[in-house]
């Protein structure tokens, strides 16, 4: 099945430096002068066959990889497209089948992987050192920008510190839930001495100009645990390093219960090491309550596990597994070893599976990852750091046979034509942006940027080479990419039919106005996500209630049938369509 990245590669192959596609044959490539990429969220393959529900087919539109067509010959909403496109391809929207996630189709089209260096091509194994794009600029950022929000703390199974709760009633309710889950004071849990979140603020006069730490005290923490007789992991070592990497605390700890498994290949703990130890968890907690103030920030990797072992809550957390998101998105998390190899170009946990981890080494790795993030900026470690805008890639490609007044080649230009403020988001790196209020204006805008403007200067006088545009009327009717918190009701059959007819006619009108030798690539992105959003909201509510209530108190339940329904809904929502033609 064709992917959105395949359509992107086709566009780059036609007018830039992309590789030849394997899924489609291209003849007379050099004759293609311009490319228009049109996103039509909500468009489905069934609509192109002449059916709203996909049960019938239009013989005038051939489905390239499926091959099944109907004998219907009646006029359908998609009839005008038969004169523009000979084939329609099923297109798979990016996502994750294992975790039932749908990724952004917009980013998949407009973000291009950085070209591989010769070194990358030789080095095929292990995580690759991140390559900065030619336009990458470091953005020095205060460490407080990376503090984990209360929502992210909840999503990542942290016990929430009382300072985040707005009232005494909320604190009492939360503490009641904690007691029920075995995380209350009677179970040995403690909270750092912070009354309000605002107590963590530092006056501007006390912050040194340009300081990354913003007047905060930074501690990086890592713990090692062993299995005890109650089948739980208990703390056996705690290591804390300061902002300068110096060791603030490194203590072995005697578990409350007898150890049944030292887990030496991972923890590094042995009977010989722990037998003479008399320091208890309560001793460590007392020291931490003195060490951690309202101005203290704790850094760690999946720090919720360490705080669980410490039976401690603290409101100011930076989790490297969150700020360096997994390439495939949550709930997946990259390992600390992988992140350290990729971003710090060094090896840690060499004793993994043998002599165990070094918690000081791991804490320093977390610290250095956060320091690098502060120096590089919030986008470092994200897909935007490992890729670049399609318009930036385009701007490095010269127009064939066109030079400016100084004899230098003119580079190709790109434009975005979209609803609302086109300069934001998708159009941030485009040479020209046209804001629109409806699909008809998008058609006019595409024609305008392709035609060029005599008063726009030599760079845009002849028009742009690549246009990304978007129709949104069908999306609005179907609610295909609506926010998960605002899932609309399904549209009526009449409203949907009218929206399809209007969208199809606008696609045909756009094609009719294209100048000769222009390629038109149409893709739908994600399909109808309403059911996905509904089930994801139900699952989120279930997880929240399951963590804080008894089973018979749950207002929603989640079982295997719900999981299968979510899987099927996600699979269906990822099904899209692609159309390609050259006028």
Per-residue pLDDT, averaged over 173-181, amounts to: 91
pLDDT digits (tens, 9 = 90+) for 227-269: 998 778 999 999 999 999 999 999 999 999 999 999 888 888 9
Alpha-carbon distance of 583 to 581, in angstroms, equals 7
Task: Tell me the pairing of strands 34-39 and 466-470.
Answer: parallel
Ranked by mean pLDDT, the top range of 364-368, 458-462, 537-541, 556-560 is 364-368
Per-residue pLDDT, averaged over 22-30, amounts to: 89
Q: Count Cβ atoms below 10 Å from residue 285 Cβ, excluding itself.
A: 18
Per-residue pLDDT, averaged over 520-538, amounts to: 87
- The whole-number pLDDT of residue 288 equals 97
- The whole-number pLDDT of residue 457 equals 55
Nearest Cα to 86, choosing from 68, 62, 65? 62
Q: Does pLDDT of 23 surpass 80?
A: yes
Tell me what percent of the residues of the chain surpass a pLDDT of 90: 48
Q: Which residue has the higher pLDDT, 12 or 78?
A: 12
143-222+279-385: which CATH topology? Nucleotidyltransferase; domain 5 (3.30.420)
- The whole-number pLDDT of residue 551 equals 81
Q: Does residue 316 contact residue 196 with C-beta atoms inside 8 Å?
A: no
Q: Which residues contact 8 (CB under 8 A, 6 or more apart)?
A: 108, 109, 112, 390
2-23+34-111+399-530+571-582: which CATH topology? Alkaline Phosphatase, subunit A (3.40.720)
Q: Which residue has the higher pLDDT, 112 or 340?
A: 340
- The whole-number pLDDT of residue 78 equals 59
Q: Does pLDDT of 546 surpass 50?
A: yes
Average pLDDT of the residues of the chain = 84
Nearest Cα to 372, choosing from 333, 318, 330? 318
Nearest Cα to 76, choosing from 579, 440, 504? 504
**pLDDT-based confidence at 102, cuts 50/70/90?**
confident
Q: Does pLDDT of 65 surpass 90?
A: no
Q: Does pLDDT of 464 surpass 60?
A: yes
Q: Which residue has the higher pLDDT, 73 or 99?
A: 99
Q: Does pLDDT of 539 surpass 70?
A: yes
pLDDT digits (tens, 9 = 90+) for 292-334: 999 999 999 999 999 999 999 999 999 999 999 887 667 778 8
pLDDT digits (tens, 9 = 90+) for 117-169: 555 445 555 566 665 555 568 899 999 999 999 989 998 999 999 999 999 99
**pLDDT-based confidence at 98, cuts 50/70/90?**
confident
Q: Which residue has the higher pLDDT, 529 or 261?
A: 261
Nearest Cα to 197, choosing from 234, 245, 149? 149
Q: Does residue 38 contact residue 520 with C-beta atoms inside 8 Å?
A: yes
Can you give the pTM of this predicted structure?
0.66
Q: Does pLDDT of 1 surpass 70?
A: yes
Domain ranges of the chain: 2-23+34-111+399-530+571-582, 143-222+279-385
140 burial type by CB count under 10 A (0-12 exposed, 13-18 middle, 19+ buried): exposed
Q: Does pLDDT of 75 surpass 50?
A: no
Q: Does residue 4 contact residue 10 with C-beta atoms inside 8 Å?
A: no
Q: Does pLDDT of 505 surpass 70?
A: yes
Q: Does pLDDT of 200 surpass 90?
A: yes
- The whole-number pLDDT of residue 550 equals 76
φ and ψ at residue 457, rounded to 5 degrees:
95, 165
Q: Does pLDDT of 486 surpass 90?
A: no
- Per DSSP (E only), the strands in 355-488 are 387-389, 398-403, 409-411, 414-419, 432-436, 466-470
Per-residue pLDDT, averaged over 476-503, amounts to: 71
- The whole-number pLDDT of residue 71 equals 30
Q: Does pLDDT of 224 surpass 90?
A: yes
DSSP letters along 513-574, please?
HSPTTEEEEEE--S---HHHHHHHHHHHHHHHHHHHS-GGG-SS---HHHHHHHHHHHHHHT
- The whole-number pLDDT of residue 61 equals 43
Do you find a cis peptide bond into 283, omega within 30 degrees of 0?
Answer: no
Nearest Cα to 526, choosing from 10, 177, 91? 91
Least confident of 346-350, 490-494, 500-504: 490-494
Tell me what percent of the residues of the chain surpass a pLDDT of 70: 84
Q: Does pLDDT of 74 surpass 50?
A: no
- The whole-number pLDDT of residue 399 equals 85
- Listed in sequence order, the DSSP H helices in 313-438 are 320-323, 336-344, 359-376, 383-386, 390-394
């Amino acid at each position: 099945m064709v992917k959105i990245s395949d359509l992107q590669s086709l566009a780059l192959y036609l007018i830039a430096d992309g590789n030849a596609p394997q899924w489609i044959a291209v003849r007379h490539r050099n004759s293609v002068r311009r490319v228009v990429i049109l996103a039509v969220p909500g468009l489905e393959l069934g609509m192109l066959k002449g059916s709203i529900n996909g049960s019938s087919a239009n013989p005038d539109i051939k489905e390239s990889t499926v091959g099944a067509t109907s004998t219907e010959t009646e006029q359908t909403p998609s009839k005008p497209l038969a004169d523009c496109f000979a084939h329609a391809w099923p297109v798979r929207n990016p996502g994750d089948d294992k975790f039932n996630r749908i990724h952004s189709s917009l980013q998949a089209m407009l973000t291009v992987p950085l070209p591989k260096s010769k070194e990358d091509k030789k080095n095929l194994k292990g995580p690759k050192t991140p390559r900065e794009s030619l336009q990458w600029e470091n953005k020095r950022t205060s460490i407080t920008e990376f503090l984990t929000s209360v929502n992210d703390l909840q999503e990542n199974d942290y016990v929430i510190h009382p300072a985040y709760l707005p009232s005494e009633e909320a604190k009492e309710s939360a503490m009641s839930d904690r007691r029920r889950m075995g995380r209350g004071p009677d179970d040995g849990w403690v909270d750092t001495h912070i009354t309000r979140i605002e107590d963590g603020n530092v006056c501007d006069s006390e912050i040194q100009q340009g300081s990354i730490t913003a007047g905060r005290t930074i501690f990086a923490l890592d713990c090692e645990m062993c299995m005890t007789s109650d089948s739980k992991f208990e703390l056996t070592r705690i290591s804390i390093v300061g902002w300068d990497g110096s060791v603030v605390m490194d203590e072995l700890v005697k578990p409350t219960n007898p150890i049944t498994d030292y887990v030496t290949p991972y923890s590094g703990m042995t009977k010989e090491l722990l037998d003479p130890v008399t320091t208890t968890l309560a001793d460590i907690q007392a020291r931490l309550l003195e060490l951690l103030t309202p101005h203290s920030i704790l850094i760690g990797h999946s720090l919720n596990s360490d705080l669980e072992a410490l039976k401690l809550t603290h409101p100011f957390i930076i989790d490297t597994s969150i700020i360096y998101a997994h390439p495939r998105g949550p709930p997946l998390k990259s390992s600390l070893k992988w992140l350290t190899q990729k971003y710090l170009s060094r090896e840690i946990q060499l004793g993994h599976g043998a002599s165990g981890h070094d918690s000081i080494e791991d804490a320093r790795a977390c610290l250095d990852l956060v320091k690098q993030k502060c120096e590089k900026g919030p986008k470092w470690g994200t897909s935007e750091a490992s890729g670049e805008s399609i318009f930036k890639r385009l701007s490095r490609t010269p127009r064939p046979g066109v030079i400016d007044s100084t004899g230098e080649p003119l580079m190709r230009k790109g434009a975005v034509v979209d609803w609302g403020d086109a300069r934001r988001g998708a159009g941030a790196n485009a040479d020209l942006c046209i804001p629109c209020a409806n699909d008809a204006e998008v058609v006019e805008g595409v024609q305008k940027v392709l035609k060029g403007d005599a008063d726009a200067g030599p760079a845009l006088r002849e028009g742009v080479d690549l246009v990304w545009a978007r129709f949104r009327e069908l999306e609005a009717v179907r609610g295909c990419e609506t926010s998960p918190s605002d899932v609309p009701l399904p549209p009526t059959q009449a409203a949907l039919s009218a929206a399809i007819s209007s969208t199809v006619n606008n696609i045909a009108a756009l094609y009719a106005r294209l100048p000769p030798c222009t390629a038109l690539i149409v893709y739908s992105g994600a399909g109808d996500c309403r059911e996905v959003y509904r089930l994801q909201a139900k699952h989120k509510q279930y997880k929240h209630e399951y963590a804080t209530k008894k089973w018979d108190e749950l207002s929603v339940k989640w079982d295997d049938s719900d999981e299968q329904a979510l899987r099927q809904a996600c699979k269906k929502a990822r099904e899209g369509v692609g159309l390609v033609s050259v006028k």
